[in-house]
Amino acid sequence: MTDELSWRGNWKARLYERVRERGYDSLTAFAEARPTASWVALAEELGPDDVAGVQVYDGLVAEAVRSKQVTRLVRGHLVRELWGSLPDGWPAMLDDDNRFRVAKALGLWSGIVPETHEDRVRLAGDALLANPPPAGWRPLGPDDELLRRLLPDDEA
């Protein structure tokens, strides 16, 4: 398996090279052009043999911190997890299977959220479960109305 190549050499430089090769001047621009793809899918596109999803995410967090857009990134992350675990949108009924799918999406989201946003993410998750969105809800990106209400931009 060629996965070991992901960790050889200067992977950050490699990552940015691939982004520029595709005509984007930032990882964020590249990622926002694919708002529902998973981090793994983005990595596959940039380098199926030597780019890992976690590297893409780390780069995006770095850029978001610099441009003070972390909350937006966090909203966008939830979008990607929802598309991964709930392909038909928010379930009409929370049976055992659906309950797990929702839990999995929320867990994958909060599991790697930047520390600065841990509390906000937890409250947002609580709110989603307390007042569930309409059945079939599938946000298309970080500008989704419901998501903006749950996690408003408020960075200085």
Interface contacts to other proteins, rule CB under 8 A: 1-4, 6-8, 11-12, 39-40, 43, 52-54, 57-58, 61-62, 65, 84, 99-100, 102-104, 106-108, 110-116, 125, 129
Cα–Cα distance between 79 and 149 in angstroms, integer? 14
Alpha-carbon distance values, 40 to 20, 55, 83 (Å):
19, 10, 13
- The whole-angstrom separation of Cα 38 and Cα 137 is 18
Q: How far is the CB of 152 from other proteins (least distance, A)?
A: 20
Whose Cβ is closer to other proteins: residue 1's or residue 23's? Answer: 1
Question: Given the complex with other proteins, which of 23 and 89 has the nearer CB atom?
Answer: 89
Shortest spacing between CB 24 and other proteins, in angstroms: 20
Nearer residue to other proteins within complex by CB, 73 or 143: 73
Task: Provide the minimum distance between the beta carbon of 63 and other proteins in the complex, in angstroms, as a whole number.
Answer: 11
CB of 139 to other proteins, least distance (A): 18
What are the residues whose beta carbons fall under 8 Å from the beta carbon of 86, sequence distance 6 or more?
98, 101, 102, 105, 138
Nearer residue to other proteins within complex by CB, 123 or 143: 123
Q: To 10 degrees, the CA torsion angle through 64, 149, 54, 65?
A: 20
Q: Where are the alpha helices (DSSP H) in the chain?
A: 11-21, 27-32, 39-46, 53-66, 70-85, 96-111, 118-130, 145-150
- Complex with other proteins: residue 125 or 142, whichever CB lies closer: 125
CB of 66 to other proteins, least distance (A): 11
Residue among 117, 116, 113, 125 nearest 150 (CA): 125
